[in-house]
Amino acid sequence: MKKIVVIPARLNSTRLPNKVLLDLRGKSVVQRVYEQCLKAKNIDEVFIATDSVKVYNDCFKFTNNIIMTKDTHQSGTDRIAEIVENIECNVVINVQGDEPFIEAELIDSLVNAFTDNISMVSAMHKITEVDDLKNHNVVKVTLDKQSNALYFSRSIIPHHRDDWDSLLSCHDTIPQSLRFFRHLGIYGYTKEFLLKFANMKQTYLERVEKLEQLRVLENGYKIKMIETAYDSMGIDTQEDYHKALELIDGI
């Protein structure tokens, strides 16, 4: 079984333009993502997918596995599906191009989660801070007993009917008895399911929440969730960029 990582690297970003090419102490953000992915033990190859000649030329300095795509794609999933169609593989891991600290162990865990009846996997991290719970940019996920996603939302799910106001107003950290999970934007798919997913039409809940993974659930498919201690550090704002520089300096 051949397993690959594909990193979608879009140059245009509303909140932080050119973020994948920002310098992190001598290496671009996307180069650091690529090098982290190479550390995964269960991955055969790592590719970068972009619609930008500028990104292509920058990445070509450190890898030949950079592929140009159309510039009409609405999501990273669509971009990945375009290149995967022509790559011989069984499992595809989608790692965001703005996550320079992605853990190789998490990538391996996603690969290991695949069994005969699983076509898509993703990851989650336990939320411990009430501020994260309130933050609409922190996507939450709730599960069934088999650790399949029931729903993803920018709102707080599940809603705890008892003492709800107390939780949100009187606590900084979430009591241990309560379980809330943050969805991390890393995905694994079988190649067959990825191509099917990319051809599905946008769905109502996906448009409302602006979360493309809801398209999978609305069409009746399952997403297996893996819990991890890794706390995602994507670079979306100037503040995130400065935090990333501090982290690099501390390594």
pLDDT by residue, tens only, the chain of 251 residues: 899 999 999 887 777 889 999 999 999 999 999 999 999 999 999 999 999 999 999 999 999 999 999 887 778 788 899 999 999 999 999 999 999 999 999 999 999 999 889 999 999 999 999 899 989 989 999 999 999 999 999 999 998 877 677 777 777 888 888 899 999 999 999 999 999 999 999 999 999 999 999 999 999 999 999 999 988 788 988 999 999 999 888 76
Query: What is the chain's mean pLDDT, rounded?
Result: 92
Backbone angles phi and psi of 248, in degrees to 5? -60, -45
pLDDT at site 12: 77
CA–CA distance, 141 with 139 (Å, rounded to integer): 7
Identify the domain containing residue 56 by its residue range: 3-250
CA–CA distance, 153 with 163 (Å, rounded to integer): 21
CA–CA distance, 26 with 37 (Å, rounded to integer): 18
Tens of pLDDT along 58-70?
999 999 999 999 8
Secondary structure in 3-state letters for 26-85: CEEHHHHHHHHHHCCCCCCEEEEEECCHHHHHHHCCCCCCEEECCCCCCCHHHHHHHHHC
pLDDT at site 251: 67
Exposure class string for 35-64: b at 16+ Cβ within 10 A, else e? ebbeebeebeebbbbbbbeebbebbeeeee
pLDDT at site 154: 95
Q: How many structural domains does the chain have? A: 1
The pTM assigned to this predicted structure is: 0.93
CA–CA distance, 170 with 10 (Å, rounded to integer): 41
From the CB of residue 140, how many other CB atoms can be counted at a distance below 10 Å? 22
Number of H-type helices and E-type strands within the chain: 10, 11
Is residue 24 within 8 A of residue 244, CB to CB? The reply is: yes
CATH number at residue 169: 3.90.550.10
